[in-house]
Amino acid sequence: MMLKKLKYYLTKGFSSIAVKLFLSFWLIAICAVLATRFFSLQFEQQSLILPAHHNDVRKLDKLSKYIKKHPLISVNKLLKQDQQRKGLGIILKEVSTSKIQTNSIRLKETILPYLAKNNFTNLTSIQFPLIRVSGPSAVMLENTKYQLYLASRSKHPHFTTFMRHLPLSVRITIPVIISLLLCWLLARSLVKPILAMQYTAAKFGNGDLLARVPSSAIRKDEIGELAANFNTMAEKLASNFDAHQRLLADVSHELRSPMTRLQIALALANKFNEQPQELSRHLARCELEVTRLDEMISDVLSLSRLENSHQLLTYENVNLTELIIGVVEDEQYTANEKSITITTDLTNECYTLIDSQLMCSAVSNVVSNAIKYSPEQSTVSVSLVKKSSEITITISDSGSGVPNADLVHLFKPFYRVSQARDRATGGTGLGLAITQQAIVAHKGTVTAQNNDGVGLTITIVLPLTTG
């Protein structure tokens, strides 16, 4: 896997977003490190003034008392005292000339020039890298006034002190390597879900409709949201593709029956072409089957347009009450054939933004369906209720209802609860599917529920939006 990734990055080169991100982060990090180092060197303090260290004060006091007890001791003899075994260095600064002498070679490079430039009167400790200097204590040697300092090696030097004593190349290399690792991890974490989406998109494009971005690539940030949205899009595309496949299979199946009946009717018409009565009957059958085929194709095209495209709705501020009254009046002609009465309970006025033609088709399909499955001399009720933010339309029939297990499938194309009953009542099995798509296009919902007594109720809920 690592070899594949390395090969991928080498092949893509600087066109890879991972390489671009990595190099950009790394360059910024290096510039930040170098700039920080440059300015820190400009303002870096080589010494730090601290309160007098208690051990150093005690040792200074002891050495000062020793000098007072031996007033004839010379400067050279004092400096030759074996103090270095205790980790101490003696520093003497002549008060009048600021001349400094010491018994430690390592103090001559940085500490002695510092003490020569600065005059201290109060007892204090000065922290240098790896060395602490405490003093001064006034002493008299060879009739000359001196300031006495003691230098001690620090037992626990700070990390910054340790870093100062590393070679410059090492001090630069360490932050560069650390920044390299951190920037690489950052770039990799940002690019990983993008590469996962690229790989998934390629698989999806090659026909693997089950390909999804793995959950490990879905994080709680914008890139994670993009990966999640990609999966949602893939789910919808796969669902639409499956729906198209099912619709194509259903249409192929449904077309066979009227086509077969049409072929039989044509064959019989050809057989009895010399018998006008039989010929007329079979030709009438051919006309009926052609009409059914035309109706089915029209419904399939309507459903396909609603499902497969973002149909541009023509919104108008329509009085939905008047629209439903018009639908009821039209459907009442069909209901009269079965002596069915359509009753209404409608709000006087209910204006909302809808596509009137599409909504008229949706409601008409439901009312027509209710008439088909209601027995003769029964009623179909239509009601409309307007609430603060929504409109509810209910259409109830007096039929035998639908088994509860079939309710969820009622709005699927070509779904039939009773094959024999649909053959008797006619229809394509697409009316409720078209209704659902039309209502969804209006951002509404449509559901079916059996009545407590007999019959089925279709409920349409639409958002109330007025112009």
Tell me the C-alpha distance between 400 and 432, whole Å.
17
Burial of 167 from C-beta contacts in 10 A (0-12 / 13-18 / 19+): exposed
Annotated active-site residue 253? The verdict is yes
CA 20 to chain CA mean position, Å? 22
Using DSSP, state whether 221 is helix, strand or coil.
coil
Cα 83 from Cα 104, distance rounded (Å) = 10
DSSP 3-state assignment of 461? strand
CA distances for 264 relative to 255, 289, 385, angstroms: 14, 11, 50
Classify 286 as helix, strand or coil: helix
Do 442 and 345 contact (CB within 8 A), yes or no?
no
DSSP string, 114-156: HHHH----S-EEEEETTEEEEEEEEEEETTEEEEEEEEEE-SS
Q: What is the separation, in whole angstroms, between the first and last Cα of the chain?
A: 59
Helix, strand, coil shares of the chain as percentages rounded to 5?
55, 15, 25
Phi, psi angles (nearest 5°) of residue 273: -65, -15
Structure tokens at 93: 């600064």
Selected catalytic residue, list 54, 165, 244, 253 = 253
Catalytic residues: 253
